[in-house]
Structure 1
Amino acid sequence: MNIAVVGLGLIGGSIARAFKEKTGHMVYGWNRTQQILCKAKLVGAVDGPLTDDRLAECDAVFIALYPQTAIRWLTEHAPLIKKGALVFDTCGVKQPVCAPCFALAKEYGFDFIGAHPMAGVEHAGFDSSTGSMFEGASMILVPPTGMAIETVAKAKALSLELDFERVVITDAAEHDRMIAYTSQMAHVVSSAYVQSPCSLRHRGFSAGSYRDMTRVACLQEDMWTELFLDNSEPLSAELGELIGRLQRFHDAIASKDAETLHEMLRAGRVRKEEADGKVL
């Protein structure tokens, strides 16, 4: 199989490396900077550059770019993609991306399926990519309404070749609601938390809790600004509910209301156990 990877950053680079390390597919890469493309070729992450001629021969295309850039790239290159090819994006939001890309696929005769690899590290770029990035992780797939079950099965099988442990099939609205909670809100909270003046004096006073809370504050502000605003409605709703809970904690602590504080802490513990499947 011929596979194109568009964008050789953390996720795109890891997709390319994983396919080369774990399969016999030919992988062609495109990147905005020639230096990274040369490095990817040198370390064996790609077999060569993705030219227009090679794109026309690819059976699968993974677009690992920021949302609006991904849409622009597909709009410009859709006429070159061969009919029946399977095209994935890897963006962290789906409603703003899938709608125009589903339309392009229908117009030009290829299959587009939204994809979101639930994996990553706090450092960006090709140098942080690895062929083992997706081991044990989930791949979320968002097919268009009416996509043939055989095509969805093909997309799932290709995802499993990257060593994802599970593949979740959902729709774009549910994806964006859940990601607002499981991913985007965590980045907002981490960023807000670490901006306390105490963070500059934490050494010697911090351990695992501090590391866990601040890890994802090391983010790419350009990408996350775009993702947050593309998903503003569900994210702002989650943040509003969180702010309400934090206000109740604040009020209980400030007024030394032990009974309310104890009950809120108990409720959090019980919900965590329920969420982790530890409550019978």
Structure 2
Amino acid sequence: MEQMKVLVVGLGLIGGSMCKAMRRFTNHLVYGYDTDGAVLEQAVRDGAILEAVPKSGFHEFDLIMVCLHPRAAKAFFDAHIPDFRPGAMLTDVCGIKGALVEHVTELAAEYGQRYVGMHPMAGKERFGYPFSEGSLFLGANCIITPIPQTSKAAVCILEQLVHDLGFAHIVETTPEGHDAMIAYTSQLAHVVSSAYVKSPTLEQENGYSGGSFQDMTRTATLNEEMWASLFLENRKPLLFELNTLIENLQAYRDAIDRDDYTTLVELLRDGRIRKEQNLLSHAKDRRE
């Protein structure tokens, strides 16, 4: 892949990991921009970026990757797209695509730039630059969200970059399709985990917990400002999933309350079968 001069905006967990991964696995020249000067200094010391870039230097880059929360990302694009050179490629890693993709696509086209939305499906229970690492994306999934106006050449460049960073599987879908699926596969899990740890029993769990507890509570140590923004930006799909979950939980609750062994077995059997079918489907996809 031809060497690019890349600017990563926002050096949190994902942005910092993107910098480190590009430095580790590609020959691209990686620079950083962040409002936190201490983070930029640490990233330079770590070798994650070659140097920090002032706003006056934005026009120098082939690729600008914005790693901010959805509202902050939109505000950044609105403020700085005129500062990027014609022909530059733009992308973001926001967990919600929705109206952002269409908005930035149209805005970038006004200035002769190409935009492609993406969402790396990788993360940790901790956030911020100190927890970033170049191996974060190895074996992970990445979602690309082109629309009819999106440059096919830009999609190919981004997919090659994603492949070089170690992602195992790339999915192309619409922004709307992305948001509907993410409400189920990611956002719902974070809501449930956050609610689950609010039981008063949490204070006595030490010594009683195992893998199930760890799996259920891992994502409760989230970045509340980022996830609140994501939830509200994706309100309709997330409410659908929450209402579905509440309805299903009520069925389990009712069966337990009635001491209804037969119904409870049926509910549990149905859940087991659905998950087994899901695992078989994944195994088939890997073979193909």
TM-score, length-scaled by structure 1 = 0.97
Residues 53-132 of structure 1 mapped to structure 2, 5 A cutoff: 53-132=56-135
Residues in 1 aligned to 2:228 and 2:203: alpha-carbon distance in whole angstroms: 24
2:271 to 240, 265, 268: 268
Deviation of 1:144 after TM superposition, in Å, equals 2.4
Residues 89-238 of structure 1 mapped to structure 2, 5 A cutoff: 89-238=92-241
The two structures, once aligned, show a CA RMSD in angstroms of 1.3
Task: Tell me if the contact between 2:190 and 2:219 (Cα under 8 Å) persists in the aligned partners.
Answer: yes
Residues in 2 aligned to 1:156 and 1:46: alpha-carbon distance in whole angstroms: 22
Gaps of 5+ in 1: none
Deviates more, 1:211-220 or 1:45-54: 45-54
Deviation of 1:147 after TM superposition, in Å, equals 2.5
Residues in 2 aligned to 1:226 and 1:46: alpha-carbon distance in whole angstroms: 28
Residues in 1 aligned to 2:74 and 2:142: alpha-carbon distance in whole angstroms: 20
Opposite residue 114 of structure 1, the aligned amino acid is G
Quote the sequence identity (%): 43
Deviation of 1:152 after TM superposition, in Å, equals 1.4
Runs of 4+ aligned residues of structure 1 deviating over 6 Å after TM superposition are none
Gaps of 5+ in 2: none
Q: Secondary structure at the match of 1:61?
A: strand
CA deviation string 1:13-67 (max 9, x = no partner): 0000011111121111001110000000011000011234542121111100011
Q: Secondary structure at the match of 2:239?
A: helix
1:239 to 238, 242, 253: 242
> Aligned pair in 2 of structure 1 residues 147, 98: CA closer, same or farther (>3 Å)?
closer
Q: Secondary structure at the match of 1:122?
A: coil
Residues 31-42 of structure 1 mapped to structure 2, 5 A cutoff: 31-42=34-45
Task: Tell me if the contact between 1:68 and 1:97 (Cα under 8 Å) persists in the aligned partners.
Answer: no
Residues in 2 aligned to 1:149 and 1:74: alpha-carbon distance in whole angstroms: 21
Task: Tell me if the contact between 2:194 and 2:220 (Cα under 8 Å) persists in the aligned partners.
Answer: yes
Residues in 2 aligned to 1:151 and 1:73: alpha-carbon distance in whole angstroms: 21
Opposite residue 6 of structure 1, the aligned amino acid is V
Deviation of 1:9 after TM superposition, in Å, equals 0.3
Q: Does 1:49 align with 2:29?
A: no
